[in-house]
Amino acid sequence: MTTPYLALGLAGTHLVELTTNRALLSRWDALPVAYSVLGIDRVDGSAPAPVTLTSSAVGATLAGATKYGRFLFTATPQRDHPYNIARRVASLAHLSRGRSGLLIGVRDVYAPEGPKEAPAWGGAGLGGGAPLNAQTAYDAACAVRALEQSWPHDSIIGDRDTGILVESNRIVHVDIDNSFSIAGPLNAPEPATGASVIAWYAATVADIPPVSGNNPIELVLGDAGSVPVVALGEEPPAAAVAGVVLRANLEQSVADLLDTAERWLADGFATIALGGSLRAALNLPAPAPRPSSARAAFPLPQPRVSL
């Protein structure tokens, strides 16, 4: 049986605590866990904390202030259009050099709902909207993956002889028309480490994503997934699992969480080498690139003679 890895789940108050305490942040950065979920309380159905920080903003802070720690930031289409989620996913991967990924959920407990007929995304007041359900969240995950891959990293060639900086004909439209209508492409290139890991939260079997043939979900957290969430103070599951997310409750501190994580790592959980991409840490294969038949967004660039 493969030794399970350990991950950490941080709620709103813990994000505030971690980002305002340099000693805790250094300790977190040196812990050989697989990753941490930033703002897990946004998507796991628990009550909101009295204070919180935006998950992706905390990710940006950690990416710049640390060297090793890996993380999933949480997002849902209830608050954000998938194009905006994709921009954050790509930006954080660039900032962290691949140490980041996305945990997508159906609902965000901190976000207001939109109009009754279209509670997802419609709350931004910019028109449109979609049902607030698993299909919408899954369609958002598919859009994020397609958008992040729409501008291949290796299309940036910087050829001084021809004056061609980017093989722009390889930047493609995503042409999505499901819960969301997106032509694309994303206005940022794919990270050097490749497409980011996309995870899903499923507390029950009813929360399992409605997967399609080109499934972008690579990791399922929660009791219905391969990585269950265990509350701090409880024992690790006896069943064989890929990993465990150890989650602190609001009355428990980040220091309490790190203390227990250190004990569990010493008692047999797999230690994951510090640094490196989240994809490499989880030993996940790279997703297939966008199909070669995808519609080019720009014409073939022409060489220019240097002056």
Tens-place pLDDT, residues 211-226 = 878 899 999 999 888 9
**pLDDT score at 1:** 47
295 with 172: CB under 8 angstroms? yes
Domain 5-281 has CATH 3.40.50.800: no
pTM score > 0.85 for this model? yes
**pLDDT score at 27:** 97
119 with 215: CB under 8 angstroms? no
Cα 5-67-98 angle, rounded to 5 deg: 70
Pairing status of strand 71-75 against strand 243-247: unpaired
Q: Measured between alpha carbons, how far is 289 from 264 in angstroms, rounded to an integer? A: 38
DSSP SS3 for 92: helix
pLDDT range class, residue 94, cuts 50, 70, 90: very high
- Averaged confidence pLDDT in the chain: 91
- Amino acid residing at 63: A
Domain assignments of the chain as residue spans, ordered by start: 5-281
pLDDT range class, residue 113, cuts 50, 70, 90: confident
Pairing status of strand 36-38 against strand 229-231: unpaired
Pairing status of strand 36-38 against strand 5-10: parallel
